[in-house]
Amino acid sequence: MRLTEINQRCHDYSSGVWQFEAYGYVPSGTSGACVMQIHNEDGGARATAMMLHVYNGTLRYYSGEAVEDCIYDRWFRLNVVHDLGASTVAVYVDGVSRLAVAVRPSLLHYFKFGVYMQGHDQSERMESRWRNVSVYTKPPSPY
């Protein structure tokens, strides 16, 4: 199977600007979980370009910088914009810019969301809910 066939079928991407948009909900008590990430191709130097974790009610960039406090028990709109040409990711919560970071380039990327247990501060039960999930793309400029 050719790379372009894989990209069209699975929403893997390697150029342009890509945006993930969805409404998420994290019930209170969920901690030590990744709820959204940009994954790299297998064999990359790092498996992810960006991860959003929940620790004790705060949405964080990996386990560090706070992206949004008081994330529990409410629907929030999450937009994640990955610009491959600029090697940047921007995160918006409810339309407000909350994070802008430089990321390492990789050959392929794809969005993942759900619950993925992390290495510390884990709760016994982890959950996230998602609705109205959309992926948008803007092809790279030919100039």
In a domain, 5, yes or no: no
For residue 33, the model assigns a pLDDT of 93
In a domain, 4, yes or no: no
Tens digit of each residue's pLDDT (9 = 90 or more) over 27-74: 999 999 999 999 887 655 678 889 999 999 999 999 899 999 999 999
In a domain, 124, yes or no: yes
Q: Total domain count for the chain? A: 1
The CATH number given to whatever domain includes residue 120 is 2.60.120.200
State the sign of the Cα–Cα–Cα–Cα dihedral 92, 97, 103, 106: positive
Residue 5, phi then psi, degrees to nearest 5? -65, -40
In a domain, 82, yes or no: yes
Q: How confident is the model at residue 126 (pLDDT cuts 50, 70, 90)?
A: confident
Burial of 78 (0-12, 13-18, 19+ CB in 10 A): buried
For residue 14, the model assigns a pLDDT of 86
In a domain, 103, yes or no: yes
For residue 143, the model assigns a pLDDT of 67
In a domain, 76, yes or no: yes
In a domain, 127, yes or no: yes
Tens digit of each residue's pLDDT (9 = 90 or more) over 69-97: 999 999 999 999 999 999 999 999 999 99
Q: Which amino acid is at 98?
A: R
**Which residue range forms the structural domain that includes residue 78?**
11-138
Half-sphere exposure of 111 (CA within 13 A, CB side): 20
For residue 11, the model assigns a pLDDT of 76
CB atoms within 10 A of CB 40: 20
pLDDT at position 101 over 80: yes
For residue 106, the model assigns a pLDDT of 85
| Structure token digits, residue 119 | 């290495």
In a domain, 51, yes or no: yes
